[in-house]
Amino acid sequence: AQSVTQLGSHVSVSEGALVLLRCNYSSSVPPYLFWYVQYPNQGLQLLLKYTSAATLVKGINGFEAEFKKSETSFHLTKPSAHMSDAAEYFCAVSESGGSGNTGKLIFGQGTTLQVKP
Amino acid sequence: NAGVTQTPKFRVLKTGQSMTLLCAQDMNHEYMYWYRQDPGMGLRLIHYSVGEGTTAKGEVPDGYNVSRLKKQNFLLGLESAAPSQTSVYFCASRFVRNTGELFFGEGSRLTVL
């Protein structure tokens, strides 16, 4: 069974500081991994995804994540936080392609990012 | 570009009442999903469908039913609402042949009194 653990339900950083949101996964098959962002009262928007190509993945709004198989991690980073980055962030895992793949995403609990001026 | 549209966006029910949430997508996606979002629990899969006329149970299916009579629509029903079903519900869809990215609607906030 697949699972995702996000370490820290709340992360607070100062504007301009490094953002690091942690995600660890468990999967018995090669995974696809995703980070989604949710702004207040909105749906989820894809930030970036890992699909077994390059292990360092760049996404929108200056975010990137690195897939580390040995650590089963997919942490999200951004060098310099902006006030507009304040939102809730979700890490998710799904099975990689193949027959019988239903494309279900398993989500972590979410991390709320606060950016202080 | 409408994408994934959910109706209604807000609803208040009394315990025991029934209702249906409608999800419509205009991207010709084969797969569709219903998730619920609760504080501190992320999103949990209720039911999903891999094609017209097919449905399957997800992680938390009890108390919900679904139907996929048309490819573009996925309905989520509550036959007898309970306060534990107070939540924000999200519909999502995707193509069969892609790398797993889901496209989400904006959510439906349901309160059961």
- Chain A and chain B share a number of CB contacts under 8 A equal to 67
| pLDDT at residue A57 in the model | 94
Tokens encoding B74: 């996925």
Side chain identity, residue A117: P
Q: Is the pLDDT of residue A82 over 80?
A: yes
pLDDT reading at A7 higher than 70: yes
A60 part of contact set with chain B, CB < 8 Å: no
List the beta strands (DSSP E) in B3-107: 4-7, 10-13, 19-25, 31-38, 42-49, 56-57, 65-67, 73-78, 87-94, 103-104
Query: Are B89 and B107 in contact, with CB atoms under 8 Å apart?
Result: yes
Which secondary-structure segment (H or E) carries A47?
strand A44-50
Mutation pick from A104, A107, A112 vs chain B, by most beta carbons of B within 10 Å, is A104
Residue pLDDT, tens place only, B88-99: 999 999 987 767
Tell me whether residues B94 and A103 touch, CB distance under 8 A.
yes
List Cβ neighbours of A55 (8 Å cut-off, separation of 6 or more).
A66, A67, A68
Q: What is the pLDDT of residue A27?
A: 83
CB–CB of A32 and B100 under 8 A? yes
pLDDT at position B95: 86
Q: What is the pLDDT of residue A96?
A: 61
**Is the CB of residue A51 less than 8 Å away from at least one CB of chain B?**
yes
Q: Which of A43, A102, A110 sits opposite B106 (nearest CB)?
A: A43
> pLDDT digit string (tens) for B46-82?
999 999 999 999 999 999 999 999 999 999 999 999 9
**Which of A43, A102, A104 is nearest residue B107 as measured by Cβ atoms?**
A43
Interface test with B, best of A42, A50, A60, A107 (most B CBs within 10 A): A107
What is the per-residue pLDDT for B1?
Answer: 62
Tell me the sheet residues that pair with A93: A33, A106
| Comparison of pLDDT for B9 and B98, the residue scoring more | B9
Strands across the sheet with A19-26, in order? A3-7, A19-26, A73-78, A64-68, A56-58
Q: For A49, which of B33, B92, B101 is closest by C-beta distance? A: B101
CA distances for B80 relative to A58, B2, B14, B15, B62, angstroms: 45, 31, 9, 7, 11
Contact between chains at A42 and B106 (C-beta distance less than 8 A)? yes
Write the single-letter amino acid at A93: V
Structure tokens at B102: 């889901």
pLDDT digits (tens, 9 = 90+) for B29-50: 999 999 999 988 899 999 999 9
